Amino acid sequence: MTENDQGNVPSRQRKRFPGISSRAYEHPADRSALVALRKLSGFDTVFKALSGLLPERSLRLLFLSDSVRVSDAQFSHLNDMLRDACYILDLEKVPPMYVTQDPKPNAMCIGLDEPIIVVTTGLVELLDEEEMRAVVGHEVGHALSGHSVYRTVLLFLTGLALKIAWIPLGNVAIMAIVTALREWFRKSELSADRAGLLVGQDVQASMRGLMKIAGGNHLHEMNVDAFLAQADEYEKAGDLRDSVLKILNVLPRTHPFTTVRAAELKKWSESRDFQRIMDGHYPKRSEDKDTSVTDSFRESAGHYADTVRTSKDPLLKLVGDIAGGAGDLAGDLGGKLRNAFGGGQGPKKPDAAGSDEATGTTGTTGDGKSGPDSGTGDAQ
């Protein structure tokens, strides 16, 4: 563990997670979006072709020649944080990190064969030690999850789309894949935020960092609760027109909106899943090969269903209402069709044995089998 040389944050021990799998912190939407991306027509062909064409060696040489590589001799406090994050998440090979001159706060993890972490001077100057630790953990989480490969492809395709924008069909084909990649990457950011919290183990520092990215270095003018209230207002405010505008606003972005990220991370930090990880109960990398893809997809589908059901967004509430109404209608029609075509005999008068068939409820015979009217309760 690193010591705090600045003196403004007390040094403390952090829990370590030996052999932790990225499944422990991956957001369900991250996994399902990646599954959908891989199923996109033409994606595998494009991805395999690009893997051999992307100038990864050129990219590494560019950062080596025009940025500052983090080490014991340069940005040593960042080097300590990087090694600390890799130690906590048990990432065996420490990826190289570079600091590049850019006033805009940003960080990324890219690379096909091996990940590279890049942070801008704007980010380094904006965040304090604990906030920066969460960011470094965020990027190490990307590396552990293997996100750097798809992030690199996204950067390349985005640039390619701009170059061939004059070719109508070519641009449409590329932008379809770019849009799918962006959707996945926005979800992957939620996973990486969780990894950053596991490394920093300070939810308030994570919240402060996101607030600073949104509003600059003016913490004395900001409040975490008020910031989180914005996320709640954003989700439920407006009507269907606002829901459509939200979709259009987020489409060109690679990151979710900061208030949404803060709310998602706060919710996870208070969940049983997070507490179990902190208590040492989490999926291990050694078990990844035995993981069921079907189970992962089912979990992701369940997450989306819960999101639609509990969302305050007008459009998602409408989708939930329509889905619920369709389910009720299907059940009602199913019961009537079964009755019409012999699947059920309809209600009968009660017999001497006191059968409940006349009530239209499901009856059970003495041998445990369903009674004649067992198919008429579907519409409830």
Q: How far apart are CA 233 and CA 257, in angstroms?
A: 13
For residue 269, give the nearest of 189, 190, 345 by alpha carbon. 190
Q: Name all contacts of 5-8 with Cβ < 8 Å and 24+ positions apart.
A: 5/77, 6/129, 8/128, 8/129
For residue 140, give the nearest of 170, 163, 107, 165 by alpha carbon. 107
Radius of gyration, CA atoms only, the chain: 26
Q: How far apart are CA 371 and CA 375, in angstroms?
A: 9
Q: Which of 129, 139, 189, 357 is catalytic?
A: 139
Active site annotation includes 139: yes
User: Are 307 and 350 a contacting pair, CB within 8 Å?
Assistant: no
For residue 217, give the nearest of 122, 139, 322 by alpha carbon. 122
Q: Would you call 280 exposed, middle or buried from its count of C-beta atoms within 10 A (0-12, 13-18, 19+)?
A: exposed
Q: How far apart are CA 150 and CA 205, in angstroms?
A: 28
Could you list the active site residues?
139
